């Protein structure tokens, strides 16, 4: 579980007096998530999520909170930060930076079908369109610079063939950069567990704390490597086609993006292979969650290398 900082009901009741959301009626720690302390909060006004930021640099938090606020006011179903009585999204609780955001209805889906991928593609397209008028900038914190840092840190833990794979993929990605792809704020972590569903519709996209500015295509690739996966780590063409066609119908992708697609799928696999290796071999002190298995994304990467997947829309 991930409650690093316990907060009592008395402390919460007092803290909520900074807001115009009514009286606390219930609170419940949230067990999922590894970066922050989260509580479900119910008040006489509504349902919220309270987040205490345990690890994210304080100067990056406004980027995330204002991005969520920006997307929410464009109609994207993402958590909307609640401003306090001083009109601030970012507060402080138990000495930690803290924020209150709306709690969205719905549940995540383990086995999406083509129709779900179509819905996701359309939503991702709308999110990218809405994000283009967001003016704040934060470089994707898990971009190529971080890959090289993480690779150095984990290299020593790897078997020889995996070292070779990592080195050659970093070299390949270094030779295949696409500086002219359309860029903007990306979620960068839109796995199945970060989308909530209600009545076959996406009722919420959550956890923006890996967001940053990067190629929009990268965001699609992160989704594709999770939502369209087959058990052999290849992609299932029906779901992939549905995702890409729906995205394309909202934000038409360029010829350059189609060309970059197979490389971007590899980049997205590399990023998660690296972060999982890093969390596995170099767990942070006090990290209370079992790290995800790094092998999964090594297999995905190997599959994308062995069988390059063209754009399908």
Q: Kindly list the residues in this chain that would bind a copy of itself in the complex (CB under 8 A).
A: 19-22, 44-46, 48, 69-70, 72-77, 80-87, 102, 122-123, 126-127, 129-130, 132-133, 201
Beta carbon nearer to a copy of itself, 229 or 246: 246
DSSP category for residue 282: S
Alpha helices of 132-254 — where are they, by DSSP H? 144-154, 160-175, 216-227, 237-250
Residues 6+ apart with CB under 8 A from 149: none
Residue 129 C-beta: closest distance to a copy of itself, Å: 5
| Tokens read off for 276 | 């999982």
Q: Which of 251, 229, 252 shows the shortest CA–CA distance to 300? A: 229
Residue 143 C-beta: closest distance to a copy of itself, Å: 25
Residue 99 C-beta: closest distance to a copy of itself, Å: 12
Beta carbon nearer to a copy of itself, 73 or 176: 73
Residue 284 C-beta: closest distance to a copy of itself, Å: 33
Q: Which of 85, 270, 137, 121 shows the shortest CA–CA distance to 195? A: 121
Q: Which of 60, 8, 4, 66 shows the shortest CA–CA distance to 35? A: 4
- 8 CB-contact burial (10 Å; exposed 0-12 / middle 13-18 / buried 19+): exposed
Beta carbon nearer to a copy of itself, 83 or 155: 83
Beta carbon nearer to a copy of itself, 81 or 112: 81
Residue 201 C-beta: closest distance to a copy of itself, Å: 8
Residue 246 C-beta: closest distance to a copy of itself, Å: 10
Residue 159 C-beta: closest distance to a copy of itself, Å: 46
HSE at residue 108, side-chain half, CA atoms within 13 A, is 12
Beta carbon nearer to a copy of itself, 71 or 166: 71
Beta carbon nearer to a copy of itself, 86 or 232: 86
Residues 6+ apart with CB under 8 A from 11: 93, 94
| Tokens read off for 116 | 């779900």
At residue 26, what are phi and psi to the nearest 5 degrees?
-160, 150
Q: Rg for the chain (alpha carbons), in Å?
A: 20
Residue 193 C-beta: closest distance to a copy of itself, Å: 21
Q: What is the DSSP string of 22-48?
A: --EEEEEE----SSEEEEEEEESS-EE
As a whole number of angstroms, the distance between CA 274 and CA 279 comes to 9
């Amino acid at each position: 579980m991930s409650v690093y900082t316990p907060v009592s009901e008395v402390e919460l009741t007092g803290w909520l007096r900074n807001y115009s959301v009514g009286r606390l009626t219930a609170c419940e720690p949230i067990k999922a998530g590894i970066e922050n302390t989260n509580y479900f909060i119910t008040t006489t006004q509504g349902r919220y999520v309270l987040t205490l930021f345990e690890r994210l640099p304080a100067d990056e938090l406004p980027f995330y909170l204002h991005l969520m606020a920006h997307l929410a006011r464009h109609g994207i179903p993402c958590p909307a930060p609640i401003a306090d009585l001083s009109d601030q999204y970012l507060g402080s609780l138990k000495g930690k930076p803290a924020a209150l955001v709306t709690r969205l209805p719905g549940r995540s889906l383990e086995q999406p079908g083509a129709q779900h991928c179509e819905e996701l593609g359309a939503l991702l397209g709308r999110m990218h369109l809405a994000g283009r008028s967001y003016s704040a900038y934060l470089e994707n914190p898990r971009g190529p610079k971080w890959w090289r840092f993480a690779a150095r840190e984990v290299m020593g833990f790897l078997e020889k063939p995996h070292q070779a794979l990592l080195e050659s993929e970093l070299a390949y990605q270094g030779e295949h950069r696409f500086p002219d792809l359309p860029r903007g704020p990306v979620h960068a972590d839109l796995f199945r567990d970060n989308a909530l569903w209600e009545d076959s519709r996406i009722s919420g996209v959550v956890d923006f704390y890996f967001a940053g500015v990067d190629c929009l295509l990268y965001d699609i690739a992160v989704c594709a490597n999770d939502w369209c996966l087959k058990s052999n780590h290849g992609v299932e063409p029906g779901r992939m086609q549905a995702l890409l066609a729906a995205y394309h119908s909202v934000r038409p992708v360029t010829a350059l993006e189609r060309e970059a697609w197979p490389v971007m799928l590899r980049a997205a696999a590399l990023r998660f292979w690296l972060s999982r290796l890093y969390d596995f071999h170099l767990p942070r002190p006090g990290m209370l969650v079992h790290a995800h298995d790094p092998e999964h994304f090594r297999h995905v990467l190997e599959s994308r290398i062995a069988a390059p997947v063209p754009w399908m829309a």
